[in-house]
Amino acid sequence: MLSCPNSTLRVLIVDDHELTRFSLKLALQKEPAIELVGSASNGQEAIDVVKQHHPDVIVIDLQMPVMDGISASIHIKQIDPKIQIIAYSSLEDPQTEVMVQTGSIDAFCKKDIPMPELIKTITDLGMKANQDQGDSNS
C-alpha cells in the first residue's frame, strides 16, 4: 500500500491506438492502488483531461496526430509540474536524456516493456507525485 495521504494513484493513458489504450486500461484496472481517470487519443485531448481530472501519472505515446506527446507534455507540465509523465513509445530511446533534461518527461518505457515493470514505474512515479504534493501542502 502506498504511504501517502491519497493512496490511489490517478492515471491517464494517452495513445492514438485504440488497442493500446484498451490493453493498458484492462491491465491498470486490475491494480487496486491505481484509478484510471481517463484516456485520450492525442496530446490536445490529454491536456483537456488533465485540466478536468488532475492525474498523478500520465502514460503518453510520443507519436500521435493533432499534438504529439512531447508537445503535450510541455503544456501539461506548465499546468501542473508535479504530474509525472512516462513517455511510452515504440521508438528506440528517442532523445530520452533531452526530454528528461527539459523537464517534460519523467521516465521512458518502450512499448514492449513487461506490464509488471510498467506498473512499477507508474507506482514509483505516482508515489513521487503524491510526495511532492504533500510537500507543497505542508
Provide the residue ranges of all domains of the chain, joining segments of one domain with +: 9-131
What CATH number belongs to 9-131?
Answer: 3.40.50.2300
Distance CA 105, CA 38 (A): 19
What is residue 42's predicted lDDT score, i.e. its pLDDT?
96
pLDDT tens for the chain, residues 1 to 138:
333 445 789 999 999 999 999 999 999 999 999 999 999 999 999 999 999 999 999 999 888 899 988 889 999 999 999 999 998 887 665 555 555 555 688 888 888 889 999 999 999 888 876 666 555 544
Distance CA 88, CA 86 (A): 6
What is residue 71's predicted lDDT score, i.e. its pLDDT?
87
Residues near 65 by Cβ (< 8 Å), separated by ≥ 6?
16, 42
Q: Is the pTM of this model over 0.85?
A: no
- The CA angle 26-27-29, to the nearest 5 degrees, is 65
- CA 31 → CA 14, 64, 100, distances in Å? 18, 27, 27
One-character DSSP codes across 119-135: HHHHHHHHHHHHHHHHH
